[in-house]
Every structure is written in C-alpha cells, then in structure tokens.
Amino acid sequence: MIYVCPLSKIEEMATRTGANRMVTLITAGTQVLRPAGLAEADHLFLAMHDIIEQLPDMTPPGEDHVQALLDFANSWDRKAPLLIHCFAGISRSTAAAYTVAAALAPRRDEAELAATLRRLSPSATPNIRLVSIADRLLGRQGRMVAAIESIGRGVEATEGIPFALKIEG
C-alpha cells in the first residue's frame, strides 16, 4: 500500500499506517523530520521544485529524480506501507505515487490508475513533468501522460487530504 500526504502529516501517517519507508519530494532546504523508527536508509529525499519547466535558480524534476524513485520502489519489499509526501500532498507526491503504482503493477491500465487517483484525491494535480519522465523510463508510450491529462487539474486546495493507493487495481 502507498500512502500519500502533505509534509504536515508525515509523523501522524507513519504512526497510523506503520509505513517503514518514505519518499520526500520537496524543495532543497525544507526541514523534514524523519518519523521516529524510520531508518535513514529507508528515506529517499528528492530535492526539487514543483515546476514543469526549467526556471532560473530552481530545480525541476529530472530523470535522475525519477530513476532514484523507481530504484527505491523496486527495492521495497512491500511488507509495510510506503509513505510518499511533498509539501502540500497535491502535485509531486501524487505524481510519485502514480509512478510507483505504475512501475510495480506494469499491466495496470494507466487510465484506470489515473481515475482511481482522482477518486481518492479530488485535489490531486500530479506534476506532469514527473509523469512524463516516468512514462518514458517505463516505456508507457505516452499513456501515463494522456491518462493524467484526462483527469485534469484537481480542485483547489492548500493541502491535500491523505489517502491510500493500492498498487494492484
């Protein structure tokens, strides 16, 4: 199971779910306190801004970020949940959860997965740059991007509500 939440809820979610691995997608320099009991080796910190194109003095999501995410996901034994968060729990984290679910369930339909994501999180607006890179690395031939584009922008929110995403449909 994958749990997605904003930065403000990581301790609560880790405790509630028993997650033993965590992915952080956040701007470099943002203070993130790793939940008690979570080993440093079980925490992937991906420093990036929530942008879709190159901007001065900002770090867009890149292939190295997505490859690190895929490697981390593939090394996960799935005995306990994976917690994924960004600052608001709306864009980078939902893109990462979509990517991990697609990678670990390669036969799962991209459109069904995107529709499930929308149902679970009305505010989800997955970062399309992250999704596009994942689509290419996973050989999905544009289907991941098309599926995310089909669900459109989520409802306006300052912070997403935590949710759980099953890997298999």
Name all domains of the chain by residue range, CATH numbers in brackets.
2-165 (3.90.190.10)
Q: Name, in order, each residue with C-beta under 8 angstroms of 31's C-beta and a sequence gap of 6 or more.
A: none
Written as tens digits, the pLDDT of the chain (169 aa) is 999 999 999 999 999 999 999 999 999 899 999 998 899 999 999 999 998 888 788 889 999 999 999 999 999 999 999 999 999 999 999 999 999 999 999 999 999 999 999 999 999 999 999 999 999 999 999 999 999 999 999 999 999 999 999 998 6
Rounded to whole angstroms, what are the CA distances from 157 to 15, 63, 98, 107, 113?
Answer: 25, 28, 19, 32, 22
A 10 A CB-CB count for 101 gives 21
Cα(108)–Cα(13) distance, rounded to whole angstroms? 26
